Amino acid sequence: MITQLAHICIHASDLDETYAFYHDALGLEKGFEFEKDGEPYGYYLKCGGQTFIEVFKGTSGEEGNIKHVAIEVEDMDGLIQRIREHGIEIGEKTLGCDHSWQVWVTDPNGVRIEFHEYTEKSMQRVGGTCIVSW
């Protein structure tokens, strides 16, 4: 039986730049590292609970890569400020048709990240049918 998302995996052409984005700008803590032939090869980043982002050295943007990752947050405005303080471009916060706050950013490898802050009316909490117009 499925209990939760374990991790998503992305490829990074530059492990250090990717780490700076996820650790410095987003504040994610490194869980552990991968090494191959005595060289850094990747790492796990903690994403709350037992959920992680797995990063491996490789070419990003290949066929079949993830379209986007959605990450739940508690303080959307604080996160937006933190990201902007690191000189990273981030969109404007909007209320989605699912009644959740959202904002988008792109990591150094082209992976789109959607941050979600749930409200009391969020479909993720109350269920039902979400009517879309896009």
The domain that contains 97 carries what CATH number?
3.10.180.10
Residue 120's pLDDT is what? Answer: 95
Examine the pLDDT at 45 and tell me if it is beyond 90. Answer: yes
For the chain, the domain total comes to 1
Examine the pLDDT at 63 and tell me if it is beyond 80. Answer: no
Identify whether 85 is part of a domain. yes
End-to-end CA distance of the chain: 33
Q: How confident is the model at residue 64 (pLDDT cuts 50, 70, 90)?
A: low
Identify whether 1 is part of a domain. no
Q: How confident is the model at residue 16 (pLDDT cuts 50, 70, 90)?
A: very high
CA distance 11 to 51: 18
Identify whether 134 is part of a domain. no
Examine the pLDDT at 79 and tell me if it is beyond 70. Answer: yes
Letter for the amino acid at 31?
G
Between these two residues, 127 and 92, which has the higher pLDDT value?
A: 92
